[in-house]
Amino acid sequence: MTITPPNSYRTGPDERGLFGIYGGRFVAETLMPLILQLEQAYKDAKADPSFQAELDDFLEHYVGRPSPLYYAERMTEHLGGAKIYFKRDELNHTGAHKINNVMGQILLARRMGKKRIIAETGAGQHGVATATACARFGLECIIYMGEVDIARQMPNVFRMKLLGATVVPAKSGSRTLKDALNEALRDWVANVEDTFYCIGTVAGPAPYPEMVRDFQSVIGRETKEQMLKREGRLPDSLVAAIGGGSNAMGLFHPFLDDKDVEIIGVEAAGYGLKKKHAASIAGGKPGILHGNRTYLLMDDDGQITEGHSISAGLDYPGIGPEHAWLHDMKRVEYVSATDKEALEAFQLCCKLEGIIPALEPSHALAHVMKIAPKKAKDHLMVMNMCGRGDKDIFTVADILGVKL
Amino acid sequence: MSTRIDRRFAALKVEGRAALVTFVIAGDPDFDTSLKIMQGLPKAGADIIEFGMPFTDPMADGPAIQAAGLRSLAAGQTLKKTLKLVKAFRVGDKETPIVLMGYYNPIYVYGVDKFLVDALKAGADGLIVVDLPPEEDDELCLPAMAAGMNFIRLATPTTDDHRAPTVFKNTSGFVYYVSVLGITGTKAPDLKSVKKNVNRLRKHTSLPIAVGFGVKTAEQARVIAKDADGVVVGSALVSAIEHNLNKHGKATAKTPKAVHTLVAEIAKGVRS
């Protein structure tokens, strides 16, 4: 099949919330009026300069943006090829990119007069970011988190509690991120009047994929500006890890129409693509879950299967619909890295750069380690260091057989 | 084109009473027991059978129906087998309407056109697909109606007068009014608001209105049946299955009987 490239990759979604065939609004009728209301509220906010000004102010003074674009000199020397830069979103307040989106959504919730905020979380980074913003604005905060993830991300669970949030374990199904999402949707259906659902990734019913992308695009906009200032030109390649895909979409989106920029998303290959993994594009097919059509891991009967990744944040059987479309259009290349490769990248980064990365960007770094040596020395490669690894030290210690 | 559903509601109108619509999950707790449960429902007092197509991630369902879906899937249920159950039921019952209820993904993966052909051939009469609002009508609703399958819409407390025309634009068979804000089987409906909302929705549709989500007792059914054209009972029946399994979670001789006894009791409420 030949693909006709669009004039621009940045105009989606259409009025039905679709990117090609992906996206949409596959939700229960109870939620539909609310989804339409949210869509309108977001459109109004986007057109209101005071909304963006307020958001920018919080991003600068509360989140700590812009985050640095850091030249990873020792990593570059070690790999002996491309010149590697890290976009340091792990330096944001709360330690990951998640807060960029949360600040946007919470300001929108305030505009809409909502007082109760719910969110799902996998690794706990989105939960912590949401709990943080709710504390800042005095809003009630309920976080749904899979029971399995609660066990492997204890520090973040405690953080959320310190911040005043209620953490509710999702005990159904695989008891990970997808089930946390189900529980959050069930809560929302029961509390539509006063509740704002702050989704943490570029998935869910429209307008979430677009809205979360817009809020995360600050990553890519800054990267562009910083790279132009630093090197006088655009980067040659971008690499980011993908669970639902919000950090990746945030970095990628401003570059989608710069056709010389090679863009690579790295899914979690878990124990390997032939075994248990969480790589929806590599191992899934199109289906409908959590309000949108996208690539999903499922069996022949359309039942969703349980993924696996060492990283709780990537352990999700789907991917944002815009990524699904960018894959079909072949604008972005989607690859994967295993638990083992991510763990090696994690350790190497600690030793060479003095940065403890989260297990999520460790997947992106694992791919950088594969391709950077083959690139010329003037090849500029940006990897999104989307989270710090403090939350993961227990998981890593456990695997390395170290007792803390 | 008149369907079994249309004929059933017309007949009950003549009788002057509401329909009892019963919901169980296909294949819960296993294929054979599920067929026995289904076969006994009309005699116990069910006027319409809603047959749940199990799904791993039922976002509008409470714990009882979630667990039922997982029991059914663990016993090897698939959409293909669900259609087999419908076909087996039809051998002995040509008139009781069957509505397949569930989520879109298994149907999408099966293939919409193929599914409609196979479901009609098996003897299903209508569809309720929770995650297909009117905004997604061209996915399944329009093809289903064109194929002669009723597409039954959920109306909810958030379906206000502004929203109602959109909801009732492409629909047939009956309207399923979700009596509570929330998931199945958790909250009890506020009977006063049910009455008010049913009467309000009547201004927007001439279709029969059945009321469900949270109806558990004969008394609730009796009160709702005064204003609605049908009463849907689901989680209570599914819980009756769950509570009548042996300690290994398998069906016993008591399992179908427990469901039928409860249906008979609620049927009395609907008919009184």
* Domain map (residue ranges) of chain A: 19-59+98-212, 66-95+217-400
Q: Around Cβ A134, how many Cβ atoms within 10 Å?
A: 25
Rounded distance between C-alpha atoms, residue B140 and residue B151, angstroms: 9
- Give the whole-number percent of chain B exceeding pLDDT 90: 92
Nearest CA distance, B22 vs chain A (angstrom): 21
Confidence at residue B119, expressed as pLDDT on a 0 to 100 scale: 98
Q: Taking each helix axis as running N to C, give the angle between helix B218-227 and helix B254-271, from 0 to 180 degrees, rounded to the nearest 10.
A: 40
Q: How far is CA A239 from CA A133, A135, A345, B148, in A?
A: 28, 33, 14, 50
A182 → closest Cβ in B57, B110, B134: B57
| Token couple for A159 | 């953080």
Tell me the CATH class for A66-95+217-400.
alpha beta
B106 → closest Cβ in A25, A179, A301: A301
B131 → closest Cβ in A16, A28, A193: A28
The answer to whether A353 touches A74, Cβ cutoff 8 Å, is yes
| B151 Cβ contact list (under 8 Å, min separation 6) | B126, B127, B140, B141, B144, B145, B170, B171, B172, B173
Q: How far is CA B81 from CA B53, B57, B90, B96, in A?
A: 10, 19, 14, 20
B50 is a catalytic site residue = yes
The answer to whether A278 touches A308, Cβ cutoff 8 Å, is yes
Confidence at residue A1, expressed as pLDDT on a 0 to 100 scale: 60
- Interface contact flag, A25 B183, Cβ < 8 Å: no
- Interface contact flag, A302 B108, Cβ < 8 Å: yes
| Token couple for A50 | 């005071």
Q: Is the pTM of this model over 0.90?
A: yes
B98 φ, ψ (degrees, to nearest 5): -120, 125
Substitution target from A175, A188, A193, A288 for chain B, most B beta carbons within 10 A? A288
| A130 Cβ contact list (under 8 Å, min separation 6) | A98, A102, A106, A117, A119, A121, A141, A143, A165, A198, A200
Rounded distance between C-alpha atoms, residue A370 and residue B99, angstroms: 53
Nearest residue of chain A to residue B162 (CA atoms):
A33
Nearest CA distance, B247 vs chain A (angstrom): 20
Rounded distance between C-alpha atoms, residue B162 and residue B168, angstroms: 11
Confidence at residue A45, expressed as pLDDT on a 0 to 100 scale: 98
| Token couple for A300 | 């022949």
pLDDT per 10-residue tile (average), chain A, 404 residues: 86 96 96 95 98 98 98 98 98 97 98 97 94 98 95 90 98 88 94 95 98 98 98 98 97 98 98 95 97 98 93 91 98 98 98 97 98 98 97 92 90
| Token couple for A373 | 């040596």
CB-based contact, B219 to chain A, within 8 Å: no
- Interface contact flag, B157 A30, Cβ < 8 Å: yes
The answer to whether A284 touches A298, Cβ cutoff 8 Å, is yes
Total length of chain B: 272
The answer to whether A120 touches A201, Cβ cutoff 8 Å, is no
Q: Which of B6, B61, B118, B242 is labelled catalytic?
A: B61
Q: Would you give per-residue pLDDT tens digits along chain B (272 residues)?
A: 689 999 999 999 999 999 999 999 999 999 999 999 999 999 999 999 999 999 999 999 999 999 999 999 999 999 999 999 999 999 999 999 999 999 999 999 999 999 999 999 999 999 999 999 999 999 999 999 999 999 999 999 999 999 999 999 999 999 999 998 888 888 888 888 899 999 999 999 999 999 998 899 999 999 999 999 999 999 999 999 999 999 999 999 999 999 999 999 999 999 98
Strand arrangement, sheet containing A195-197: A166-170, A140-146, A116-121, A195-197
- For B:148-167, CB contacts with A below 8 A are 153-160, 163, 167
Nearest CA distance, B164 vs chain A (angstrom): 10
Exposure b/e, A297-322, CB count within 10 A at least 16 = b: bbeebbbbebbbbbbbbbbbbbbbbb
Domains A19-59+98-212 and A66-95+217-400 share a fold: yes
Nearest residue of chain B to residue A294 (CA atoms):
B105
Strand arrangement, sheet containing A380-384: A69-71, A83-87, A380-384, A237-241, A262-268, A333-337
Tell me the CATH class for A19-59+98-212.
alpha beta
- Interface contact flag, B131 A26, Cβ < 8 Å: yes
Confidence at residue A241, expressed as pLDDT on a 0 to 100 scale: 98
Confidence at residue B184, expressed as pLDDT on a 0 to 100 scale: 87
- Interface contact flag, B159 A33, Cβ < 8 Å: yes
Note if the bond before B29 is cis, omega within 30 degrees: yes
A262 φ, ψ (degrees, to nearest 5): -80, 130
Architecture per CATH, domain B4-271, reads as Alpha-Beta Barrel (3.20)
Give the SS3 label for residue A247. helix
CB-based contact, B52 to chain A, within 8 Å: no
| Token couple for A283 | 């191992």
Q: Which of B47, B50, B137, B229 is labelled catalytic?
A: B50
Substitution target from A15, A29, A292 for chain B, most B beta carbons within 10 A? A29
The answer to whether B86 touches B51, Cβ cutoff 8 Å, is yes
Confidence at residue A14, expressed as pLDDT on a 0 to 100 scale: 97
The answer to whether A203 touches A320, Cβ cutoff 8 Å, is yes
A26 → closest Cβ in B62, B136, B153: B136
| Token couple for B147 | 């194929």
The number of C-beta contacts closer than 8 angstroms across A and B is 119
B183 → closest Cβ in A189, A298, A303: A189
Note if the bond before A317 is cis, omega within 30 degrees: no
Say which amino acid occupies A390: D
Contacts of B154 in chain A (CB under 8 A): 28-30
- Interface contact flag, B181 A30, Cβ < 8 Å: yes
H-helix segments, A239-381: 246-252, 280-283, 321-328, 339-353, 359-371
Rounded distance between C-alpha atoms, residue A205 and residue A38, angstroms: 11
Confidence at residue B1, expressed as pLDDT on a 0 to 100 scale: 63
DSSP per-residue string spanning chain B? ---HHHHHHHHHHHHT-PEEEEEEETTSS-HHHHHHHHHHHHHHT-SEEEEE---S--TT--HHHHHHHHHHHHTT--HHHHHHHHHHHHHH-SSS-EEEEE-HHHHHHH-HHHHHHHHHHHT--EEEETT--GGGTTTTHHHHHHHT-EEPEEE-TT--TTTHHHHHHS--S-EEEE-SSSSTTTSPP-HHHHHHHHHHHHTT--S-EEEESS--SHHHHHHHHHHSSEEEE-HHHHHHHHTTB-TTS-B-THHHHHHHHHHHHHHHHHH-
B15 is a catalytic site residue = no
